[in-house]
Amino acid sequence: MSETMRAVDIKGGAGPIEALHITTIPKPRPNGTQALVKIKAFGLNRMDLLQREGHYPVPPQAPKTLGVEFSGVIEAVGDRPEEGFKVGDEVFGLAYGGAYAEYIAVSTRMLVHKPKELSWEECAGIPETWITATQAIYLISNFTPGKSILWHAGASSVSIAGIQLSVADNASAVYATARQDEKCEFTVKTLGATAAFNTKTQNWANEILKATDGKGVDIIIDFIGAEYFQQNLDAVARDGMIVNLGFMGGTQLPAGVDIGAFVRKRCTFVGSSLRSRDEAYQGKLRDQLVDHAVPRFADGRFKIHVDKVLPWEEVQEAHRMLEENRTKGKVICTVS
């Protein structure tokens, strides 16, 4: 058995898209609770772009190779794998890093058996996005049926998952925002959102207030940060919650931001992340995904929206698609 494998690397350790290339590195070995998975496909996420540029705080246990979600076949296991996982199993999973490669060593606690109804490409697009959405709704925002919810970046993979979860679990209303009319239409007609607003052409906070008779929305899931901070406070309902998961719109608030809503509306602003969490925390979310979402993937009630599949030799183009916001759903690379 070869001691090396091919993997995507970054020339100089960090850099532009053109720095991505495939090279040969040592093949990992599974130990303890780990499995060695031969990768069939991996999913791309915005954190990969930041990590490539050297702007993402990578957890200490992560290998330098990019990528946190994948699908593939277990080739070997350590001496203490989780019960139910063995050599030959078809799986998909979440890792701290290392998925842009032919093989990955990952805890079996973060693996899920692949449903026969789904493709390798679809399964590679589930772990990071659906677990992040699950975390945002159920662990952070304390969503319960009957609450209203707004998902920013509605055509992003996490919001695509979150909108479907919100609709399935009987939110009173599910709103979305996007920067293109086509993406707004997609969230309503394809995903089942109640309404969606174009943040380039509409005052989306005013539209939310109109749609809710001035009440506002109970939960806002935000990936934008500073650019939407004031409007989030305007649009959130009394006793509502704003969950921030990213800073696509920056981190520095402009002068004149009015934080009076924190007292006037008794609202809560909370930030969260997934990759920096320990295995026990992530494992609980894996279990919730298996119980709550995987059966709905298998019978078609939940859809994994894959926008583009590329061979991993075209990883530069895959990053370019994400960087230029040309996608509705996942970009997946296949490993051959």
pLDDT greater than 80 at residue 216: yes
Instruction: Please return the burial class of 32, using the count of CB atoms within 10 Å of its CB with bins 0-12, 13-18 and 19+.
Output: exposed
Task: Assess contact for 42 and 69: CB atoms under 8 A.
Answer: yes
Q: How confident is the model at residue 326 (pLDDT cuts 50, 70, 90)?
A: confident
For 146-172, write each residue's pLDDT tens digit: 999 999 999 999 999 999 999 999 999
Q: What is the pLDDT of residue 190?
A: 96
- Kindly state the tokens that stand for 335: 């490993």
Per-residue pLDDT, averaged over 272-282, amounts to: 91
From the CB of residue 44, how many other CB atoms can be counted at a distance below 10 Å?
A: 29
When the pLDDT of each residue in the chain is averaged and rounded to a whole number, the result is: 96
Buried/exposed code over 291-324 (b: 16+ C-beta within 10 A; e: otherwise) = ebbbeebeeeebebbbbbbbebeebbebbebbee
The reported pLDDT for the residue numbered 17 is: 98
Q: Binning pLDDT at 50, 70 and 90, where does residue 321 land? A: very high
Answer yes or no: pTM beyond 0.85.
yes
As a whole number of Å, the CA-based R_g of the chain is: 20
Domains and CATH numbers, the chain: 4-126+277-334 (3.90.180.10), 130-271 (3.40.50.720)
Q: What is the dihedral of CA 63, 67, 70, 72, to 10 degrees?
A: -50
pLDDT above 80: residue 1:
no
**Per-residue pLDDT at 325:** 86
Phi, psi of 322 (to 5 degrees): -65, -45
